[in-house]
Structure 1
């Protein structure tokens, strides 16, 4: 059996998103697919671009700086989202490069992003990352501190459009996604960045507006 082409994998993921959305009586158009291209070079990304997809996610500022400026010159209307943890000292570079930042999770980063956006005159959409499973090794704002962090975001004039989470590995993700939905509603936020290659259909069924899919599109990382 021949391996699926990048275009076929893209079509399969889009089809699965549409199916999950319809089962939940949602419009597939309300779900944004972020193709997470971290650790993959231009040669792996280009077939997805040629297939017409234009929204990609990267984990690290430095890696994105190395490959996307050249790709953006060749492919129009590319949108780039930062989905990995952001160091405060990289805030200016992140604001310059990305159209959205999904990992706002602590006061020092809020302050750095506020200053960077004011200086650059550019305001990428922001998602506040919630440590939904209270895991010490993961980034994200503790649930109990979310209201205070959102208040800081408002004071810093960050354009917060939603919440983001990564549920604990190897457990049923649905309750964690449902908790993020509840928190977003409580704070009047429409955006829900949740769901990755293993669980994006569950996330869509529960209300995800953005799913971050890498392996299902690009294959296993080396």
Structure 2
């Protein structure tokens, strides 16, 4: 599995630009750049890109489709073993046990049945799994609309359920800014929800927010993880 020198140089250039954006956003928010973790979302890209990213100093990669994520981690070989693997996409309950066997962090926990399924899967695999509650920032609390995620009104109860499990570790919250909403407003709301979760569960301080188009707004409002795909890897190849 090899990456061409041109692709390696492209990834290096793009990574440098994204890291600069993160540093600039952190500086504007009076935060340290190292407090914002870059998760490079590698969905639809080959395992060779994962290897190249590891060589370029990336520590975290994200996937949103099973079984593509499991296959890619295996194909990437030894370099994959030193990376932290984040599952960032919507997850069906019947696939939770499989994901719990290879993911290190699941960002998209949005319902009690998924909590229970991930807990059973992690226990069966003899692993601890870090998880975040996905918050739906679209619509009203009683009508969250089409975006995935738990209603803000249900987030604390879901966090409590995660904290009571045997194999899951609650790390914080995640959200995607709605398309029709100013990301600055969306992430400000997420920061308030995150603060309420952290007040009840002091170890749950992670905020996963911000993608290629809105990472600056996310960092401004306290994101600890930004999920970047296109700005690092380029336009996505067609889904197979």
CA distance in structure 2 between the partners assigned to 1:21 and 1:67 by the alignment: 32
After superposition, the Cα gap between the structure-2 partners of 1:72 and 1:55, relative to the gap in structure 1 and judged at 3 Å, is farther
Q: Which runs of 5+ in 1 are unaligned?
A: none
* Counterpart for residue 197 of structure 1: 212
After superposition, the Cα gap between the structure-2 partners of 1:156 and 1:7, relative to the gap in structure 1 and judged at 3 Å, is same
Deviation at 1:18, TM superposition (A): 0.9
Do residues 206 (structure 1) and 218 (structure 2) align?
Answer: no
Q: 2:158 aligns with which of 149, 159, 164?
A: 149
Asked whether the equivalents of residues 130 and 164 of structure 1 are also in contact (C-alpha less than 8 Å), the reply is yes
Q: Which runs of 5+ in 2 are unaligned?
A: 1-5, 199-203
CA distance in structure 2 between the partners assigned to 1:40 and 1:69 by the alignment: 14
Deviation at 1:95, TM superposition (A): 1.2
CA distance in structure 2 between the partners assigned to 1:115 and 1:46 by the alignment: 31
Q: What is the TM-score when the length of structure 1 is the normalising length?
A: 0.93
* Counterpart for residue 5 of structure 1: 10
After superposition, the Cα gap between the structure-2 partners of 1:170 and 1:41, relative to the gap in structure 1 and judged at 3 Å, is farther
Asked whether the equivalents of residues 72 and 78 of structure 1 are also in contact (C-alpha less than 8 Å), the reply is no
Q: Deviations over 1:87-116 (max 9, x none)?
A: 111112111111100000001101111211
CA RMSD of aligned residues (A): 1.8
Q: 1:136 aligns with which of 141, 145, 148?
A: 145
Q: Deviations over 1:161-205 (max 9, x none)?
A: 100000111531011111111111112131100000000111111
Deviation at 1:151, TM superposition (A): 2.1
Do residues 71 (structure 1) and 76 (structure 2) align?
Answer: yes
**How many residues matched?**
221
Q: Secondary structure at the match of 1:5?
A: helix
More deviation in 27-36 or 37-46?
37-46
